[in-house]
């Protein structure tokens, strides 16, 4: 109590963040304790590993971080992306190494853009037993068995479209009993489709033409002479296309637009 009889003012105690619970995990057999909210990728770094391979975008896009793990009490081997999967207590974890998956060598310009090309360069597609392990392993929820079935049927377009979201993580191939390399078969289909089947994008050809004719050369030269601070200002002042802009949206300054 103070002299005046009023309660002394409490000094504002700084709120202390509650400490996060640690959970045990096993990395290639060795036990570590890591914060429960971390992804496998962050947990590996927390445990002291420096990720020089098997790590790229950290956002579920590049497919570099394929990981194999098992939960306690379960016989089942699970797979996932280390940057997207949160650790669980007592999880056993191993990063999948690079492995020498079959990869055909070809000249996309001269390959016939027909479904049979898939089977001729990757005859192992006909060994598929339809087990569906590839689909269950895919972190992108792709119907991998579905597009492999279409490859067997020689439907190039269906393989290209069905595999569009593939991030090339390799987890399907790592588990396939028929030793298919699904992602290499799929990317061949997408390359053939894009090079020979899909309609050409007129705006892309016009943009390439404008680049080749030097439309942007002067501006690029000026940018190269600009200081880092001024570059930052230019970057921050850029007009960004609104999220829900319709097809007709154009920036206010149209000087670098390529004519339609």
For β-strands 66-70 and 91-95, DSSP reports them as antiparallel
Residue identified by tokens 């007129």 is 202
Please return the burial class of 52, using the count of CB atoms within 10 Å of its CB with bins 0-12, 13-18 and 19+.
Answer: exposed
The single residue among 170, 185, 188, 192 that binds ligand SF4, judged by CB under 6 A, is: 170
The single residue among 47, 96, 121, 178 that binds ligand SF4, judged by CB under 6 A, is: 178
The single residue among 177, 198, 204, 251 that binds ligand SF4, judged by CB under 6 A, is: 177
d(CA 113, CA 189): 8
Instruction: Using only the alpha carbons of the chain, give its radius of gyration.
Output: 27
Tokens of 90: 């007592």
Q: What is the sign, positive or negative, of the torsion defined by CA atoms of 249, 251, 252, 258?
A: negative
The single residue among 44, 82, 169, 192 that binds ligand SF4, judged by CB under 6 A, is: 169
Residues near ligand FES (CB under 6 A): 55-58, 60-65, 81-83
Least distance to ligand FES, CB of residue 88, Å: 18
Is 172 an interacting residue with respect to ligand SF4 (CB under 6 A)? yes
The single residue among 44, 138, 158, 189 that binds ligand SF4, judged by CB under 6 A, is: 138
Strand partners, 86: 39
Question: Which one, 81 or 188, has the nearer CB to ligand FES?
Answer: 81
Query: Which residues 52-111 are close enough to bind ligand SF4 by CB under 6 A?
Result: 63
Which does residue 55 bind out of ligand FES, ligand SF4, none, counting CB within 5 to 8 angstroms by kind? ligand FES
Tokens of 111: 């390959």
């Amino acid at each position: 109590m103070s002299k005046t009889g009023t309660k002394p003012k409490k000094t504002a105690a700084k709120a202390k963040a509650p400490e996060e619970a640690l959970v045990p995990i096993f990395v290639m057999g060795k036990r570590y304790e890591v914060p429960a909210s971390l992804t496998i990728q962050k947990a590996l770094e927390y445990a002291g590993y420096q990720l020089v391979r098997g790590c790229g975008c950290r956002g579920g896009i590049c497919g570099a971080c394929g990981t194999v793990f098992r939960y306690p009490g379960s016989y089942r081997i699970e797979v996932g992306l280390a940057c997207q999967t949160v650790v669980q207590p007592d999880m056993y974890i191993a990063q999948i190494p690079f492995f020498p998956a079959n990869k055909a060598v070809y000249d996309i310009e001269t390959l016939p853009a027909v479904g049979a090309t898939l089977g001729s360069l990757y005859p192992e597609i006909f060994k598929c037993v339809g087990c569906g392990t590839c689909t269950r392993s895919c972190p992108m929820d792709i119907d991998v068995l579905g597009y492999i079935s279409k490859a067997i049927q020689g439907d190039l377009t269906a393989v290209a479209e069905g595999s569009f979201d593939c991030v090339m993580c390799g987890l399907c191939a790592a588990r396939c009993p028929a030793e298919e390399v699904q992602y290499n078969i799929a990317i061949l289909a997408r390359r053939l489709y894009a090079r020979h089947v899909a309609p050409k994008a007129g705006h892309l050809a016009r943009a390439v033409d404008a680049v080749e004719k030097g439309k942007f050369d002067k501006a690029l030269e000026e940018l190269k002479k600009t200081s880092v601070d001024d570059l930052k200002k230019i970057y921050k002042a850029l007009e960004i296309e609104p999220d829900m802009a319709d097809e007709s949206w154009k920036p206010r300054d149209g000087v670098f637009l390529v004519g339609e």
